[in-house]
Structure 1
Amino acid sequence: MAKILVVEDEKPISDLITMNLKLVGHQFFKAFSGAEMGPILDREKIDLILLDVMLPDLNGFEVMKRYRHLNVPVIFITAKDSLVDRITGFELGADDYIIKPFEILELLARINVVLRRNAREHDGFIAGDVDVHLAARKIYKSGQPVELTAREFELLEVLIQNRNIALSREKLLELAWGYEFEGDTRTVDVHISQLRKKLGWEEQIKTIYKLGYRLEAEG
């Protein structure tokens, strides 16, 4: 997965973001000011920066100007929600702009979009004898190809991208197939059953009582 630098001076928010990045398998680095970013960027090949605008030294826009020559994708995460601020962020080259407060699942989804767009995320996932290649949409179990329907693969991709996070059936419907998908939550149960059977993931995909499902994975 990706190496992500979180630049956020509010420790509770920084901890919340990095905890969830770790859950889904990303490697993270923390900085609490613009000045703390330099040494990290010097020694690490960072794939994405999550950047607050209101920092104690340089503001996020000034930080963006200082480091944009590195061509590292940036998502601004800030309480500054005016149209002028959003336009400034995008004009400086930001890939996305998220307003606080935010839902962590939305943040993770936007991170995935930016990483895919910049083609800097390792798209492989291995659990036991199952090897998933997200970009190529290919799956192997014990070296043999596994055929999934388009719907099954879309659900699998959401589970992998949000692994170790409990997702409601409603949220899985929304993330995998969008609001326009006409079906009820029983559709999720049917596709989960098929994924478990085809991949042998009866233990990996956990049922969360009265909620939904969680894909359990290491790393």
Structure 2
Amino acid sequence: MNRKILIVEDDANISKIIKLNLNLVHFDTVEAYGGHEALEAIRGHKFDLILLDVMIPGIDGFELMESIRPLGIPVIFLTAKNSVVDKVRGLKAGAEDYIVKPFEALELLARIETVLRRFGREETLLEFKDLQVFLDRREARVRGRPVDLTVKEFELLVALLKNKNIALSREQLLDKVWGIAFYGETRTVDMHIKSLRKKLDLYEHIKTVYKIGYRLED
């Protein structure tokens, strides 16, 4: 079952962009454009996480936290209020993270993943076509048969699956899989992608993005 996220943002354009990016990586989303609408959504749905703007009509984000905190739903503030005082206030109110606008989609997805992992709400199974990836036991299966992957091949596959339909540069993949301390060449990514395509028969789905990197495409 996909995890469900409530987006509380009064700017419809920003809300739609966030929704699009979350839907691309298979989160279910509900949008609310004000505090009262957000409360109605919280009463009617079970959410794994809430993305909450501070400056929303009706009930502002800080006030809304008073109603959210007893429910145990993790909250990430998304706001243009960038002062240290506001950030401290947001974290003291019970938010798990505080992201200042504007922000990159990949940063938001990474922060969401971190919070969900902290709350034990991270997915343990990723699926794509005939492929199943079991994160808890680090195992990949194609049509039910286990596939022997190296540690880095497995981690690269997970990075692609978690960012499905998003173009990732070679540098981003190096950072996600090998870490910022890795001093090798980006050709390392190409070699591992070639191996994944062959082992998992993903020639048609791991797309090369010209002069950028790779994208796992439905």
User: TM class by shorter-chain length?
Assistant: over 0.9
Gaps of 5+ in 1: none
Structure-to-structure mapping, 1:19-38, within 5 angstroms? 19-38=20-39
1:139 paired to 2:168: no
Q: Which residue matches 2:99?
A: 98
Gap regions ≥5 residues in structure 2: none
In structure 2, C-alpha distance between the alignment counterparts of 1:68 and 1:110, rounded to whole Å: 19
Matched-pair contact (CA < 8 Å) for 1:7–1:30: yes
Partner SS state of residue 125, structure 1: strand
Contact 1:47 1:121 in 2 (8 A): no
Q: In the aligned structure 2, how far is the partner of 1:175 from the partner of 1:36?
A: 37
Counting aligned pairs with the same residue, the percent is: 54
Structure 1 residue 129: Cα displacement:
2.0
Please give the alpha-carbon distance, in whole angstroms, between the structure 2 residues aligned to 1:160 and 1:80: 33
Q: Deviations over 1:27-85 (max 9, x none)?
A: 10000111101221122110000000111222211111122111101011111111111
Q: Distance in 1 between matches of 2:118 and 2:198?
A: 32
User: Hey, what does 1:61 align to over in structure 2?
Assistant: 62
Per the alignment, residue 151 of structure 1 pairs with: 152
Q: Equivalent residue of 2:35, what SS?
A: coil
Aligned twin of 2:126: 125
Which amino acid is the alignment partner of residue 216 of structure 1? E
1:128 Cα deviation from its structure 2 partner: 2.5
Which of 1 and 2 has higher RCO (CA within 8 Å, sep 6+)? 1
Correspondences of 1:1-219 after superposition (within 5 Å): 1-217=2-218
- C-alpha separation between the residues in 2 aligned to 1:101 and 1:61? 20
Residue by residue over 1:79-103, the C-alpha shift from the partner in whole angstroms, topping out at 9 and shown as x without a partner, is 1111111111111221111111101
Equivalent pairs counted in the alignment come to 217
Runs of 4+ deviating beyond 4 Å: none
Letter in 1 for 2:60: N
* Higher mean C-alpha displacement, 112-121 vs 72-81: 112-121
Q: Which amino acid aligns with 1:103?
A: E
Tell me the TM-score normalized by structure 1.
0.94
Q: Which deviates the most, 122-131 or 94-103?
A: 122-131
User: Higher mean Cα deviation, 206-215 or 46-55?
Assistant: 206-215
SS of structure 1 residue aligned to 2:14: helix
TM-score, structure 2 as length reference: 0.95
Root-mean-square deviation (CA), in Å?
1.3
How far residue 147 of structure 1 moved from its aligned partner, in angstroms, is 2.1
Distance in 2 of aligned mates of 1:79 and 1:136: 40
